[in-house]
Amino acid sequence: MKSSDMEKAPKLTVIIYICATLMAISTIFIIYKSNVYISDLVKEGFDPKKELVEVINYYLVTVIPFVFYTISLITLGYIVKKIDYITKGKEEIKEKSIYLERVPENKDDEIDEFFSNI
């Protein structure tokens, strides 16, 4: 996110993106620690080829929630930013419509009717 974009973005979006960044960092850390744990098990005699389901289950249980929360926070920040953009656009349209004057109705039709009746 550029600094000019951060000034335009609502504060909630910036906070959500910061949380998403922290969650992404923790996700990378959890993936690293999971690899260390599995490698320690292999050193102790665990055969991951025989227990492949257990290894996959361990990764799914430990890593996937963090990945899901990271993606959810990024998506939530994007949605909040787009909603803010839409509401600001509607406010600008309302402000512009206040300054527009009503065009007076065409008085020529009434004059033509008057002369046609004479």
Predicted local distance difference test score (pLDDT) of residue 101: 54
Under the phi-then-psi rule, with left for phi > 0, alpha for psi from -120 to 50, and beta for the rest, what region is 45? left
Please check whether residue 33 is in contact with residue 63, taking contact to mean a CB–CB distance below 8 angstroms.
Answer: no
Please check whether residue 69 is in contact with residue 23, taking contact to mean a CB–CB distance below 8 angstroms.
Answer: yes
Range 65-95 burial, b when 16+ CB lie within 10 A, else e: ebeebbeebbebbeebbeeeeeeeeeeeeee
CB atoms within 10 A of CB 14: 17
Predicted local distance difference test score (pLDDT) of residue 107: 58
Locate 74 and state its tokens.
């990024």
Predicted local distance difference test score (pLDDT) of residue 87: 82
CA geometry: angle at 106 spanning 104 and 108, to 5°? 140
Predicted local distance difference test score (pLDDT) of residue 110: 67
Residues of the chain with pLDDT under 50: none
* H or E element at residue 98: helix 64-99
